Structure 1
Amino acid sequence: MRGCRALFVVAALMSPVAASQAEASSRTVAIADFQYIDTSGEARDQKADHASRLEAFMTALHRDLAASDMFRVVPLPCRPCVLTDGNAAKIAGMAQKAGAEFLLVGGIQKMSTLVQWAKVALIDLRTDEKVLERLYTFRGDNDEAWRNAESFISRQIIGLSSQ
């Protein structure tokens, strides 16, 4: 699937594709679980902290999109349901079978002690085109930094659909 491949190829901040591709006022979206990669090289094992924060991030993302008037979130049947190059078509098919018009995919990469990147793509499953593809950076690796990042990202996604 063209829209789902190479999610972690980080070259530059991508601008959104015209939102006119999605015309309905309430869109159905499936959200794949985001991947997390820590390439910071820090000595302290933070796997449990990151897993907990990623889980809270995903829960809040589901909640915030569902609470908006712009999206109706439909569940994917897998747990975890993480997109990879090898299962992109399968995940997209599951999303369509669940009634989703859009698939939200992404991942977070910790680059250093204080800098993390979140790559997010919203894919129109009817056209296999990206409606949104963005690279967000956020500072900090604590609960507050993760909450702020999720809140900003969800507002961006909701704002795109209201244009």
Structure 2
Amino acid sequence: MRALSSIVVLLLLGSVAFADPPKLAVFDFELLDTSLPGEFYGSKPEQERLGRISEQLRKELAESGRFQLLDIAPVRDAAHRSNLQACGGCDVELAGKLGADLEITGLVQKVSNLIINLNIYLRDVKTGSLITVASADMRGNTDESWTRAMSYLIRNRLLAPNYGKPE
């Protein structure tokens, strides 16, 4: 079990090349909105942004060539009915149904329009073990800030050549 996790980490770090990259399921990001505007007006703009950053992540990871991205459509409804961050491993189970080796879930935590945090969680589907977490804070609730935060995490965490390597 540890061997697969080690291989995945090396693959993420760009140190190993495989003929067949690991199969990856990227679930739609979820929102935890504890802001006052969210309570009064709802979270419609944030819900639309969640969809955009989820697609952005899928697209950029697929284009990297390091993963075989799987279509989550067969389990999307079940995933949307669950809180993937607190469902006791249902995310791993759903990814397993797709035949994934790895899975990503994500959470955007909105405290206010000026305090927003974007989190990405990468897990090994066979063991359920957390492989890595990437997190970025945003200062501003705009399409641009969300897109830039996701770009930063992809470029400087998930696909960075030295991410996670001991110094």
- Normalising by structure 2, we get a TM-score of 0.74
Name structure 2 gaps, 5 residues minimum: 1-7
Question: Which residue of the partner structure matches residue 111 of structure 2?
Answer: 111
Whether 1:34 and 2:29 are equivalent positions in the alignment is yes
| Larger Rg belongs to | 2
* CA shift in 2, pair 1:96/1:160, >3 Å: farther
Whether 1:57 and 2:57 are equivalent positions in the alignment is no
**Aligned mates of 2:148, 2:93 — CA distance in 1:** 32
Question: Which residue of the partner structure matches residue 65 of structure 2?
Answer: 69
Name structure 1 gaps, 5 residues minimum: 1-17
**Aligned mates of 1:87, 1:67 — CA distance in 2:** 31
Contact 1:70-1:161 at 8 Å conserved across structures: no
Tell me the C-alpha RMSD between the 2 structures.
2.6
What is the CA distance between 1:153 and its match in structure 2?
1.9
Contact 1:19-1:161 at 8 Å conserved across structures: no
Which structure 1 residue ranges, 4+ long, deviate > 4 Å from structure 2?
21-24, 160-163
What is the CA distance between 1:87 and its match in structure 2?
5.8
Q: What is the aligned-residue identity percentage?
A: 26
What secondary structure, in the 3-state scheme, does the structure 2 residue paired with 1:132 have?
A: strand
Letter aligned with residue 78 of structure 1: V
Structure with greater helix share of residues: 2
What secondary structure, in the 3-state scheme, does the structure 1 residue paired with 2:112 have?
A: coil
Question: Which residue of the partner structure matches residue 78 of structure 1?
Answer: 75
**Aligned mates of 1:110, 1:85 — CA distance in 2:** 17
Contact 2:24-2:103 at 8 Å conserved across structures: yes
**Aligned mates of 1:99, 1:126 — CA distance in 2:** 10
* CA shift in 2, pair 1:160/1:31, >3 Å: farther
Letter aligned with residue 93 of structure 1: E
**Aligned mates of 1:67, 1:131 — CA distance in 2:** 21
- Normalising by structure 1, we get a TM-score of 0.75
How do 1:6-155 residues align onto structure 2 when only pairs under 5 Å count?
Answer: 19-20=9-10, 25=18, 26-42=21-37, 45-76=41-72, 77-80=74-77, 81-82=79-80, 83-86=84-87, 88-89=89-90, 91-155=91-155
Contact 1:39-1:112 at 8 Å conserved across structures: yes
* CA shift in 2, pair 1:78/1:141, >3 Å: same
**Aligned mates of 2:128, 2:59 — CA distance in 1:** 25
**Aligned mates of 2:161, 2:42 — CA distance in 1:** 34
What secondary structure, in the 3-state scheme, does the structure 1 residue paired with 2:52 have?
A: helix
